Chain A
């Protein structure tokens, strides 16, 4: 079974608007971490934000925030005030357990910001 599901292959957003990227996950381990990475067209993987399963508050990093709904097993990324430079592919990934640092990735969502 897929551990990470990203159901939106591609999205368009107007510059300066907010966009929400969906991510649902599947794990039976009570300890896990969720990561979001950005991959611009140049190909590198850029870490954006992290949410731990025991974190009481939703993570925020600048214009990025996580809408973490543990009961629903979802960790949606919200990008506020979109910029042209936000056009990229975005990946949600999960680490399970404390000691195992392997990541399981979703298929990714391509975001295109329109001027």
Chain B
């Protein structure tokens, strides 16, 4: 089983719909992140959470919200989806107690298309 699991893997929806992307991890990491990937732009940070009570905006948080339901679960919501939110979304985790050379661990991504 994957250490970082994202659901759904693919989603097609319509403009104006509310969408939730979910992420769960079994790595025991305290920090979790949501990124979006667009062609030519790499990955950009949407939100990040250092623990259940600590949630922070990233570079591009407008139009998104998050919820850290437990240490292992971090969900991303699009309250009213718009076509330019069509992208590949990644959840990632890291361990604040780990060494500085420890990488973030990524889920397999969610391909989201908004028509």
Contacts and interface: CB of A to CB of B under 8 A. Distances in A.
B42 A47 contact: no
Contacts of A104: 45
Contacts of B109: 43-45
A103 interface: yes
Interface string B10-48: 000000000000000000000101010000111111001
Number of contact residues on A: which range applies?
Answer: 20 to 34
Interface residues on B, range: 20 to 34
Contact of B41 (A45, A101, A103, A107): A107
Interface of B: 31, 33, 35, 40-45, 48, 58, 88, 90, 92, 94, 96, 100-101, 103-106, 108-109, 111
Contacts of A50: 101, 103
Interface of A: 4, 6, 9, 33, 35, 37, 42-45, 47, 50, 52, 91, 93, 95, 98-99, 101-108
